[in-house]
């Protein structure tokens, strides 16, 4: 979007500041948007409720169900089931039909809706994102106080819902893209991993990305680093669940002081912008690389200007950045606060400041971009 085009909420072209009579059509649209957002915020809690009480699983087979059917299957009072189903229908998350014989409203999920809400292994499973939203509301009073006091708010300080939601939200993308698209887009990396390479996954969180790579490349060895001990514990458990503990280890360490050298590949999955000192993190990575080694940055796909990011995906990332990414960076030394919509130009500047001379956008998805770095 060019800077001369109108953007949501922008002042009309040629307008000047000061009180004016409201344009009723614009006012109506603004109110409608606020009502839509209130509904979305409220229904986010119901999405989580549906996961925890088994509502989505019960609907996942695609067969029509009445409120009474769902209530019986999930052992809840029928009025709860009826209101929950009605809210999901109003949200467009499930469909409805009228049973001509009984006159009952029947609820049914399409295959597409089931992929989004019922199957955790689906490449488009989105329920995890609502756990992230829940964590934001849980942490809101403390983050608000940190902002007012001019402080940061560390990743480790967040409610545990954030860590669960992050694992579930990013897992589908890693499983869908990492092996088939992202790694092959890097020069020579797939071949090196197949033959046997040494890999560090920095800021690994729960280790989903590490386990995905380790399972596909059994000849390579992988170590995941994260400063958050609870995430390291979960990553170690996940490695056992995925059967990759033979070639995978996890250790607590910061992005600028983890041990080891001669890494053939060092990965940063959706985490560099959260770091207080991203230049320092990349300097450490450059020093830890083997000759001919590669750093892979996976970052949210963003344009280099605000106008380019005024879209639904940018909205999600700006909101998450305000409440999660920026406070996390400001809680650390330097506090660079790149933000989740840093854009390629700022990331390139960070990489070049860290001493990398080869900076290439290897590929992109609608949500992420993959940047290849070499000294």
Q: Could you read off the pLDDT tens digit of each residue along the chain, which spans 375 residues?
A: 333 344 555 555 545 556 688 999 999 999 999 999 999 999 999 999 999 999 999 999 999 999 999 999 999 999 999 999 999 999 999 999 998 888 899 999 999 999 999 999 899 999 999 999 999 999 999 999 999 999 999 999 999 999 999 999 999 999 999 999 999 999 999 999 999 999 999 999 999 999 999 999 999 999 999 999 999 999 999 999 999 999 999 999 999 999 999 999 999 999 999 999 999 999 999 999 999 999 999 999 999 999 999 999 999 999 999 999 999 999 999 999 999 999 999 999 999 999 999 999 999 998 999 999 999
Give the 3-state secondary structure percentages of the chain, helix then strand then coil, rounded to 5. 50, 15, 35
E-only strand ranges, 187-240: 198-202, 221-226
pLDDT of 19 = 65
pLDDT of 4 = 37
pLDDT of 12 = 54
Closest C-alpha to 271, from 220, 218, 347, 215: 347
> How is domain 38-117 classified at the CATH fold level?
Arc Repressor Mutant, subunit A (1.10.10)
Is the distance from CB of 348 to CB of 331 less than 8 angstroms?
no
CA dist 122 to 58, 116, 171, Å?
17, 7, 9
CATH 1.10.10.10 placement within the chain: 38-117
Measured between its terminal Cα atoms, the distance across the chain in Å is: 34
- Token reading at 266: 């060092």
Q: Give the C-alpha separation, 70 to 54, whole Å.
A: 9
Give the bridge partners for 296, in sequence order. 267, 372
CA torsion 114-115-117-118 (nearest 10°) is 70
Q: Give the C-alpha separation, 17 to 11, whole Å.
A: 9
Q: Give the C-alpha separation, 199 to 177, whole Å.
A: 18
Superfamily of domain 174-374, CATH level 4: Vaccinia Virus protein VP39 (3.40.50.150)
Q: Give the C-alpha separation, 296 to 361, whole Å.
A: 10
User: How many whole angstroms from its chain centre is CA 204?
Assistant: 13
Give the bridge partners for 224, in sequence order. 201, 250
Place of tokens 């280099």: 304
Q: Give the C-alpha separation, 324 to 205, whole Å.
A: 14
User: How many whole angstroms from its chain centre is CA 232?
Assistant: 18
Helix (H) or strand (E) segment spanning residue 343: helix 343-353
Place of tokens 């500047």: 349
CATH 3.40.50.150 placement within the chain: 174-374
pLDDT of 349 = 98
pLDDT of 304 = 96
Q: Give the C-alpha separation, 279 to 339, whole Å.
A: 14
């Amino acid at each position: 979007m060019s800077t001369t085009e109108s953007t949501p909420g922008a002042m009309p072209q040629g307008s000047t500041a000061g009180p004016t009579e409201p344009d009723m059509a614009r006012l109506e649209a603004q109110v409608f948007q606020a009502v839509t957002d209130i509904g979305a915020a409220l229904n986010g809690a119901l999405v989580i409720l549906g996961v925890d009480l088994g509502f989505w699983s019960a609907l996942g087979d695609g067969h029509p169900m009445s409120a009474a059917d769902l209530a019986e299957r999930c052992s809840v009072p029928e009025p709860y089931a009826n209101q929950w189903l009605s809210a999901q229908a109003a949200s467009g998350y499930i469909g409805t039909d009228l049973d001509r014989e009984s006159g009952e409203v029947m609820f049914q999920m399409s295959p597409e809706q089931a992929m989004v809400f019922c199957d955790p292994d689906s490449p488009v499973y989105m329920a995890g994102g609502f756990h992230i939203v829940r964590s934001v509301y849980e942490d809101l009073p403390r983050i608000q106080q940190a902002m007012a006091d001019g402080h940061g708010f560390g990743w480790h300080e967040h409610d545990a819902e954030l860590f669960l939601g992050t694992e579930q939200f990013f897992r589908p993308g890693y499983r869908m893209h990492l092996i088939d698209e992202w790694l092959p887009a890097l020069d020579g990396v797939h071949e090196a991993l197949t033959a046997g390479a040494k890999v560090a996954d920095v800021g690994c969180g729960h280790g989903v990305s590490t386990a995905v790579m380790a399972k596909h490349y059994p000849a390579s060895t992988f170590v995941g680093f994260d400063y958050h001990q609870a995430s390291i514990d979960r990553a170690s458990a996940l490695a056992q669940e995925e059967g990759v503990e033979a070639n995978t280890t996890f250790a607590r360490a910061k992005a600028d002081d983890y041990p080891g050298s001669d890494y053939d590949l060092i990965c940063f999955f959706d985490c560099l912008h959260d770091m207080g000192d991203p230049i320092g993190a990349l300097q450490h990575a450059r020093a830890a690389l083997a000759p001919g080694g590669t750093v892979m940055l996976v970052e949210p796909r963003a344009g280099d200007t605000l106008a380019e990011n005024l879209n639904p995906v940018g909205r999600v990332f700006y909101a998450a950045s305000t409440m999660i990414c920026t406070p996390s960076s400001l809680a650390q030394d330097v506090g660079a606060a790149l933000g989740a919509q840093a854009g390629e130009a700022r990331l390139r500047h960070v990489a070049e400041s860290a001493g990398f001379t080869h900076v290439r956008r290897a590929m992109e998805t609608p949500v992420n971009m993959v940047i290849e770095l070499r000294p």
